[in-house]
């Protein structure tokens, strides 16, 4: 088949100079900078990361599902606190009780927030707009991760404050002494544990890029696998020794209970590399190369 090989369309009467923007009426832009590309390079600053993060934060809140997920964190913290005040026996109305009751729903909801921050856009094909406005997809993902972690830390702060308030109010009502039985170091590890759980959700979102699949993936990770691996450890002694080093859920949930020992930190490191770092790196690499349509 004959092919047209000449590179340019013959366009009589066309000049590259003097390109004014069609939005502003012709003449407002003097076009003295010469070619359009020269004008563009002079006029447009790169998009700062701050702005990207701000945009991603907006996107997390401005849809119904995003809004209710975040509202759900506050609501469940309030409900959990109220439940402890109403139903828990006096002697167990301690800060540990309150934070444990609040921590449960949060540990489930935060990974969902992280998953949706990535997948909502892929299922709704908003990525088409996002990645045409910001072709550096890695930066977009980084902005999403920063926002997800930020939202996680802030909502944990809010939830713990609600729990503290519950502890004060609850014990005031019952007349029992107010007990602060969680130390600062353990509070920090609890926050870290939630951030790791959230990052696990984020990783699943980046790798699977589908809301339902990633949500199911997270429950397999947090409910099904731990039981299966526990059973495996029961029958296979070699695995029982190996498990803390390779089973991320097993090793990072230690952070909820206590400040880990040196060996436990190392186990969080090796299993986290396996479950979090490598899959996330792979997922990001794929997102940067995949076709967006």
Partner 1 sequence: MITLDQLTKRYGDHLAVDDVSFTAAPGRVTGFLGPNGAGKSTTMRMLTGLTRPTDGHALVNGRPYAELPNPGREVGVLLDASAQHAGRTGREVLAIARRTMGLPRARVEETLERVGLTEEEGGQRVRHYSLGMRQRLGIGLALLGDPEVLVLDEPANGLDPAGIRWMRDLLRGFADAGGTVLLSSHLLHEVEVVADDLVVIGRGRIVARGSKAELLESAGTVARSRRTPELVAALHAAGHAATVGTDGLVHSDAGCEAVGDVALAAGLPLAELRPADGAGLEEMFLQLTAAAQRDSVDADPSPTSSDLREGAAA
Binding site for partner 1 (CB under 8 A): 1-12, 14-16, 18-26, 31, 35-37, 39-41, 43-47, 51-52, 54-55, 58-59, 62-65, 120-121, 124-126, 128-129, 131-136, 289, 291-293
Nearest approach in angstroms of CB 254 to partner 1 is 39
**What phi and psi values does residue 210 have, to the nearest 5 degrees?**
-145, 130
Minimum Å gap between C-beta 138 and partner 1 is 11
Please provide residue 48's backbone torsions phi and psi, each rounded to the nearest 5 degrees.
-70, 150
Angle of helix 237-246 versus helix 262-272 axis, rounded to 10: 80
Separation between Cα atoms, residue 240 and residue 92, nearest integer Å: 34
Cα maximum dimension of the chain: 93
Nearest distance from C-beta of residue 121 to partner 1, angstroms: 7
> Given the complex with partner 1, which of 166 and 205 has the nearer CB atom?
205
Collapsing DSSP to helix, strand or coil, 293 comes out as coil
Cβ 216 to partner 1, closest distance in Å?
22
Of 16 and 32, which CB lies nearer to partner 1 in the complex structure?
16
DSSP states along 146-174: HHHHHHHHHHHHHHHHHHHHHHHHHHHHH
Nearer to partner 1, 32 or 132 (CB): 132
Rounded CA gap, 151 and 113, in Å? 9
Residue 19 Cβ vs partner 1, minimum distance, rounded to whole Å: 4
- DSSP letter at 15 equals -
User: Least separation, in Å, of the C-beta of 206 and partner 1?
Assistant: 18
CB of 131 to partner 1, least distance (A): 6
**Nearer Cβ to partner 1 (8/227):** 8
Query: Closer CB to partner 1, residue 220 or residue 292?
Result: 292
User: Which of 166, 225, 211, 161 shows the shortest CA–CA distance to 187?
Assistant: 161
Backbone angles phi, psi at 94, to 5 degrees: -115, 170
Please name which of 208, 212, 227, 219 lies closest in space to residue 108, comparing C-alpha atoms.
Answer: 219
């Amino acid at each position: 088949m004959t092919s047209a090989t000449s590179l340019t369309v013959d366009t009589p009467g066309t000049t590259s100079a003097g390109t004014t923007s069609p939005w502003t009426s012709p003449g407002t832009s003097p076009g003295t900078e010469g070619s359009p590309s020269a004008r563009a390079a002079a006029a447009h600053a790169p998009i700062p990361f701050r702005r990207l993060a701000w945009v991603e934060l907006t996107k997390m809140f401005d849809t119904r599902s995003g809004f209710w997920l975040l509202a759900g964190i506050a609501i469940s913290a309030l409900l959990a606190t109220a439940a402890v005040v109403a139903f828990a026996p006096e002697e167990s109305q301690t800060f540990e009780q309150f934070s444990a009751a609040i921590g449960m729903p949060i540990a489930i909801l935060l990974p969902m927030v992280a998953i949706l921050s990535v997948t909502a856009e892929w299922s709704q094909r908003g990525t088409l707009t996002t990645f045409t406005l910001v072709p550096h997809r890695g930066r977009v993902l980084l902005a999403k991760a920063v926002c997800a972690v930020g939202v996680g830390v802030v909502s944990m702060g809010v939830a713990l404050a609600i729990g503290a308030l519950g502890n004060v109010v609850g014990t005031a009502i019952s007349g029992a002494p107010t007990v602060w039985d969680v130390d600062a170091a353990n509070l920090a590890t609890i926050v870290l544990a939630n951030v790791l759980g959230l990052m696990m959700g984020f990783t699943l979102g980046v790798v699977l890029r589908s809301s339902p699949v990633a949500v199911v993936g997270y429950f397999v990770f947090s409910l099904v696998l731990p039981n299966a691996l526990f059973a495996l450890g029961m029958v296979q002694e070699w695995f029982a020794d190996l498990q803390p080093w390779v089973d991320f859920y097993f090793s990072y949930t230690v952070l909820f209970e206590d400040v880990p020992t040196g060996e436990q930190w190392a186990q969080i490191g090796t299993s986290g590399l396996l479950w979090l770092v490598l899959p996330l790196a792979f997922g990001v690499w794929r997102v940067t190369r995949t076709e967006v349509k």
